[in-house]
Amino acid sequence: MRILFIGDIVGRPGRDVILAELPRLRDSLKPDFIVANGENAAGGFGLTRVLADELFATGIDCITTGNHWADQKEILGFIDHEDRILRPRNYPAGVPGKGAGLYETRGGQRVLVMNLMGRVFMDALDDPFAAAEAELSACPLGEGADAVIVDMHAEATSEKMAMGQFCDGRASAVIGTHSHIPTADAQVLPGGTAYQTDAGACADYDSVIGMEKYEPIQRFLKKMHGSRFQPANGPATLCGAFVVTDPRGLATRIDPIRVGGRLKQALPEL
Ligand SMILES: [Fe+2]
Ligand SMILES: [Fe+2]
């Protein structure tokens, strides 16, 4: 199976680069399933119904999120009726939405997607490792699902890497989001799980992690809040990873993707 994983889509520049580049990527990579993190799609903060539909219309099959999942309150009114949007699985019981979904590709393959959130330098949630264990044992790779994709939304590289190793051999891919910077450690772990600590964001990189740079710099300089963060408005780079799996659902390769905007470009050689 061919899986395309896309990192945090930040504001209009992030959405624009998806609209501009995803059709070409779909033509060249022919993914069976596309996961994208949409937690910053609405002006950098959260996701709306209209924007989710705009992203689904580009061919994205599942939208994961993270700590910003409920920044736009309207999501609380539709997430329980929208199977294709996930919020982190390890929120307390009773929170709207769900953290894992089993989907079917057009070719009839079953894909389990799990959205987890780290706890290091982030809000104290339930244990993401216990959440991963529960989902992996309820729907084992090769039995309940033909592919298992984990979006590990976390700040600390150590926590993300630990999750990759924890799931090695039991997930097709564990890919990090949230730090908005692509890491250079794409690899297939020994047990066959494709791993990258952070996919990077779909954002303008003449910025501070996708935000217009003046206000973040001021906050570091003065330790005071001035204006609200706004997404930087220049051309964005679409960042993600492309994963190919074998009939067992284990990865045979992972390639980082960076197209458009200012970052050094990267595309898989097929
Ligand atoms: Fe984000
Ligand atoms: Fe985040």
Residue 7: nearest ligand to its CA? 1
Question: What is the CA(70)–ligand 1 centre distance, in A?
Answer: 12
How far is CA 246 from each of CA 3, 67, 164, rounded to the nearest angstrom? Answer: 12, 33, 18
- Tokens at residue 89, please? 């699985």
In the sheet with 251-259, reading across from the earlier edge strand, the strands are 62-64, 33-37, 2-6, 238-245, 251-259
Average pLDDT over the chain, rounded to whole?
98
Is there a contact between 114 and 149 (Cβ–Cβ < 8 Å)?
A: yes
* Whole-number pLDDT of residue 178: 98
- When pLDDT is cut at 50, 70 and 90, the band that residue 204 belongs to is very high
Question: What is the CA(48)–ligand 1 centre distance, in A?
Answer: 15
* Whole-number pLDDT of residue 72: 98
Query: For residues 63 and 5, what is the distance between their CA atoms, to the nearest angstrom?
Result: 10
List, in sequence order, every beta strand (DSSP E) within the chain: 2-6, 33-37, 62-64, 100-104, 110-117, 147-153, 173-177, 187-188, 194-196, 238-245, 251-259
pLDDT digit string, tens, across residues 77-92: 999 999 999 999 999 9
Q: What angle do CA 25, 251, 35 make, to 5 degrees?
A: 45
Residue 47: nearest ligand to its CA? 1
Question: What is the CA(262)–ligand 1 centre distance, in A?
Answer: 19
Question: What is the CA(89)–ligand 2 centre distance, in A?
Answer: 14
Q: What percent of the chain has pLDDT above 90?
A: 100
Q: Respond yes or no: is residue 68 known to be catalytic.
A: yes
Name, in order, each residue with C-beta under 8 angstroms of 105's C-beta and a sequence gap of 6 or more. 1, 32, 33, 61, 111
Residue 37: nearest ligand to its CA? 1
Is there a contact between 205 and 233 (Cβ–Cβ < 8 Å)?
A: no
Question: What is the CA(154)–ligand 2 centre distance, in A?
Answer: 7
Q: State the catalytic residue, choosing from 68, 153, 178, 180.
A: 68
Query: For residues 201 and 69, what is the distance between their CA atoms, to the nearest angstrom?
Result: 15
Residue type, 74: E
Query: For residues 44 and 92, what is the distance between their CA atoms, to the nearest angstrom?
Result: 24
Residue type, 255: D
pLDDT digit string, tens, across residues 38-77: 999 999 999 999 999 999 999 999 999 999 999 999 999 9
In Å, how far from its chain's centre is CA 127? Answer: 19
What's the predicted TM-score (pTM) here? Answer: 0.98
pLDDT digit string, tens, across residues 140-185: 999 999 999 999 999 999 999 999 999 999 999 999 999 999 999 9
In the block, tokens 């926590």 appear at: 159
- When pLDDT is cut at 50, 70 and 90, the band that residue 270 belongs to is confident
* Whole-number pLDDT of residue 181: 98
Query: For residues 31 and 46, what is the distance between their CA atoms, to the nearest angstrom?
Result: 26
